[in-house]
A and B are shown apart, each in its own frame.
Chain A
Amino acid sequence: MVDANPGEGPRRGKADRDDTVTGSLYRMIVLSALAVAVGTVTALAAIAFVDAVNWLNDALLISPRVRVQLEDQRLLVVAVTVLVPTLGGLAVGMMLRHLSPERRPLGPPDAIRAAQTRTAPPSARAGVVSTLAAVLALGCGASVGEYGPMVYLGALVGGVAARLNARIGNLRTIAIACGVAAAISTAFNAPIAGLVFAHEVILRHYSIRAFAPTTVAAATGFVVANVVFHRPALFLVDFGGVQHGYEFPVFAVVGVLAALVAVTFMRLILTTAALAERWRIPASLRPALAGLAVGVVALGLPDVLGIGTEALRFATIEGAFVPWELALLLVAKIGLTALCLGWGFAGGVFSPSLLIGILFGALVWSGLDGALGLATSGLVVYAICGMMALTSAVIGAPLATILVVFELTHNYDLTIAAMVSVVFSNLLSYQLFGRSLFDVQLAQQGVDLSAGRDRAMLDGMPVTACMGEDVPRADTGEPVGAVLDRLTAAGRAEAVVTDADGCYVGMLRVQDARAREHETAGAVARVGEVVLHRETTVWGAMQALKGFVGDAAPVVDDDGRLIGMVTEAAVIGAYLDTMRDLRREEHEGP
Chain B
Amino acid sequence: MKDRDPTPTAAGFSRRRVLAGLAALAGLAVPPTPGRAETDPTSLTIATWGGVYEAAQRAALFDPFTAATGIVIETARHDGGPDVPGRPEARGWDLIDMGAADAGAACAAGLLVPLDTAALPAPPPGGGATREDFLPGSFGRCALAHSTFATVVAYDDRAFPGRKPASIADVFDIEAFPGKRAFRRNPGALMEWALMAVGVPRAQIYDLLSTDRGIRLALRELDRIREHILWWEAAEAPVELLESGAAVMASGFNGRFFDARVMRDRPIIIIWDGQLVAQEAWAIPAAADPAHRAAAERFIRFATGPDRQAALAERLPYGPTRRSALERIGLHPVAGVPMADHLPTAPHRMDRALVIDSAWYANTEALRRRRFEAWLAEGAED
Binding site for B on A (CB under 8 A): 63-72, 232, 236-238, 302-303, 309-310, 313-314, 316-321
How many inter-chain residue pairs (CB < 8 Å) link A and B?
63
Closest to A69 in B: B363
Cβ-based interface call for B178 (8 A): no
User: How far is B210's CA from A319's CA once the two chains are assembled, in angstroms?
Assistant: 18
Minimum CB–CB distance from B375 to chain A (whole Å) comes to 16
Cβ-based interface call for B177 (8 A): no
Contacting A69 at CB < 8 Å: which of B204, B208, B213, B364?
B364
User: How far is B214's CA from A320's CA once the two chains are assembled, in angstroms?
Assistant: 8
Q: Which residues of A contact B203 (CB under 8 A)?
A: 232
Known contacts being A68-B364, A71-B366, A314-B217, is A236 close to B207, with CB within 8 Å? no
User: How far is B122's CA from A336's CA once the two chains are assembled, in angstroms?
Assistant: 56
Q: Which residues 173-207 of B have a CB within 8 angstroms of A?
A: 198-201, 203-204, 206-207
Minimum CB–CB distance from B2 to chain A (whole Å) comes to 12
Minimum CB–CB distance from B364 to chain A (whole Å) comes to 6
Minimum CB–CB distance from A246 to chain B (whole Å) comes to 25
Q: Is B364 a contact of A71 with CB atoms below 8 Å?
A: yes
Cβ-based interface call for B220 (8 A): yes
8 CB-based A-B contacts, threshold 8 Å:
A65-B210, A68-B360, A68-B364, A71-B367, A310-B213, A317-B200, A320-B217, A321-B213
Closest to A380 in B: B199
Q: Which residues of A contact B7 (CB under 8 A)?
A: none
Known contacts being A314-B217, A317-B217, is A68 close to B201, with CB within 8 Å? no
User: How far is B204's CA from A107's CA once the two chains are assembled, in angstroms?
Assistant: 29
Q: Which residues of A contact B213 (CB under 8 A)?
A: 303, 310, 314, 320-321
Minimum CB–CB distance from B106 to chain A (whole Å) comes to 16
Q: Is B217 a contact of A319 with CB atoms below 8 Å?
A: yes
Q: Which of B200, B206, B213 neighbours the largest number of chain A CB atoms within 10 Å of its CB? A: B213
Q: Is B211 a contact of A68 with CB atoms below 8 Å?
A: yes
Q: Which residues of A contact B204 (CB under 8 A)?
A: 309-310, 313
User: How far is B212's CA from A320's CA once the two chains are assembled, in angstroms?
Assistant: 11
| Interface residue SS majority, chain B | helix
Minimum CB–CB distance from A407 to chain B (whole Å) comes to 16
Q: Which residues 198-249 of B have a CB within 8 angstroms of A?
A: 198-201, 203-204, 206-211, 213-214, 217, 220
Q: Is B210 a contact of A64 with CB atoms below 8 Å?
A: yes
Interface string of B276-320 (1 = CB under 8 A from A): 000000000000000000000000000000000000000000000
Q: Which residues of A contact B211 (CB under 8 A)?
A: 64, 68, 302-303, 310, 314
Minimum CB–CB distance from A78 to chain B (whole Å) comes to 15
Q: Which residues of B contact A319 (CB under 8 A)?
A: 217, 220
Closest to B204 in A: A313
Interface residues on B, range: 20 to 34
Q: Which residues of A contact B210 (CB under 8 A)?
A: 63-68, 310
Q: Which residues of B contact A310 (CB under 8 A)?
A: 204, 207-208, 210-211, 213-214
Q: Is A72 a contact of B366 with CB atoms below 8 Å?
A: yes
Q: Which residues of A contact B200 (CB under 8 A)?
A: 313, 317
User: How far is B370's CA from A72's CA once the two chains are assembled, in angstroms?
Assistant: 13
Q: Which residues of A contact B359 (CB under 8 A)?
A: 69
Minimum CB–CB distance from A105 to chain B (whole Å) comes to 27
Q: Which residues of A contact B207 (CB under 8 A)?
A: 63-65, 309-310, 313
User: How far is B247's CA from A325's CA once the two chains are assembled, in angstroms?
Assistant: 39
Q: Which residues 68-92 of B have a CB within 8 angstroms of A?
A: none
Minimum CB–CB distance from B221 to chain A (whole Å) comes to 9
Q: Is B199 a contact of A314 with CB atoms below 8 Å?
A: no
User: How far is B360's CA from A546's CA once the two chains are assembled, in angstroms?
Assistant: 72
Q: Which residues of A contact B214 (CB under 8 A)?
A: 310, 314
Minimum CB–CB distance from B313 to chain A (whole Å) comes to 28
Report, nearest first, the 6 A-B pairs whose CB atoms are least far apart: A69-B363, A64-B210, A68-B210, A65-B210, A236-B201, A64-B211
Known contacts being A302-B211, A310-B211, A317-B217, is A65 close to B360, with CB within 8 Å? yes
Known contacts being A313-B204, A319-B217, is A68 close to B199, with CB within 8 Å? no
User: How far is B208's CA from A416's CA once the two chains are assembled, in angstroms?
Assistant: 29
Q: Which residues of B contact A63 (CB under 8 A)?
A: 207, 210
Interface string of B159-183 (1 = CB under 8 A from A): 0000000000000000000000000
Q: Which of A70, A310, A316 neighbours the largest number of chain B CB atoms within 10 Å of its CB? A: A310
Closest to A235 in B: B201
Minimum CB–CB distance from B167 to chain A (whole Å) comes to 12
Q: Which residues 352-372 of B have a CB within 8 angstroms of A?
A: 359-360, 363-364, 366-367
Contacting B199 at CB < 8 Å: which of A69, A71, A72, A238?
A238
Closest to A317 in B: B198
Give 18 new A-B contacts, CB below 8 A, not counting A69-B359, A310-B214, A317-B198.
A64-B211, A68-B209, A68-B367, A69-B360, A71-B364, A71-B367, A303-B211, A309-B204, A310-B208, A310-B210, A310-B213, A313-B207, A314-B208, A314-B211, A314-B213, A314-B214, A319-B220, A320-B213
Minimum CB–CB distance from B23 to chain A (whole Å) comes to 44
Q: Is A313 a contact of B208 with CB atoms below 8 Å?
A: yes
Q: Which residues of A contact B360 (CB under 8 A)?
A: 65, 68-69
Q: Which residues of B contact A320 (CB under 8 A)?
A: 213, 217
User: How far is B364's CA from A72's CA once the two chains are assembled, in angstroms?
Assistant: 10
Q: Which of A69, A309, A321 neighbours the largest number of chain B CB atoms within 10 Å of its CB? A: A69
Closest to B200 in A: A313
Closest to B195 in A: A317
Q: Which residues of A contact B364 (CB under 8 A)?
A: 68-69, 71
Q: Which residues of A contact B366 (CB under 8 A)?
A: 71-72
Minimum CB–CB distance from A211 to chain B (whole Å) comes to 33
User: How far is B213's CA from A321's CA once the two chains are assembled, in angstroms?
Assistant: 8
Interface string of B94-138 (1 = CB under 8 A from A): 000000000000000000000000000000000000000000000
User: How far is B367's CA from A65's CA once the two chains are assembled, in angstroms?
Assistant: 13
Q: Which residues of A contact B199 (CB under 8 A)?
A: 237-238, 316-317
User: How far is B211's CA from A321's CA once the two chains are assembled, in angstroms?
Assistant: 13
Closest to B361 in A: A69
User: How far is B208's CA from A320's CA once the two chains are assembled, in angstroms?
Assistant: 11
Closest to A230 in B: B1
Minimum CB–CB distance from B68 to chain A (whole Å) comes to 41
User: How far is B350's CA from A501's CA once the two chains are assembled, in angstroms?
Assistant: 85
User: How far is B367's CA from A227's CA once the two chains are assembled, in angstroms?
Assistant: 38
Q: Which residues of B contact A313 (CB under 8 A)?
A: 200, 204, 207-208
Minimum CB–CB distance from A218 to chain B (whole Å) comes to 24
Minimum CB–CB distance from B234 to chain A (whole Å) comes to 29
Minimum CB–CB distance from B327 to chain A (whole Å) comes to 24
Q: Which residues of B contact A66 (CB under 8 A)?
A: 210
Minimum CB–CB distance from B1 to chain A (whole Å) comes to 9
User: How far is B209's CA from A64's CA once the two chains are assembled, in angstroms?
Assistant: 9
Q: Which residues of A contact B208 (CB under 8 A)?
A: 310, 313-314
